[in-house]
Structure 1
Amino acid sequence: MSDNVLDHIPALRAYARSLCKHGQDADDLVQETLLRAIEHADKYQSGTYMRAWLFTIMRNRFYTNVRKAARERTGSEDCVSGQLVSQPTQEWHLRHQELWDQLARMPRHYREAIILVSVLGESYLRAAEILECDIGTIKSRVNRARGLLKHALEPEF
Structure 2
Amino acid sequence: MGVYSKILLAVDLSEESDQLIEKTRTIAKNNQAQLTVLHVIEPLSFAYGGDVPMDLTTVQEQLDAHAREKLELFSQKLAYPTESLQVVTGHTESEIHRIAKEKECDLIVVGSHGRHGLALLLGSTANSVLHGAPCDVLAIRVYEPEE
TM over 0.5: no
Which structure would you say has the larger RCO, counting Cα contacts within 8 Å and 6 or more residues apart? 2
* TM-score of the pair, normalised by structure 2: 0.29
Bigger fraction of residues in strand: 2
Q: Which has the larger radius of gyration?
A: 1
Structure with greater proportional helix content = 1
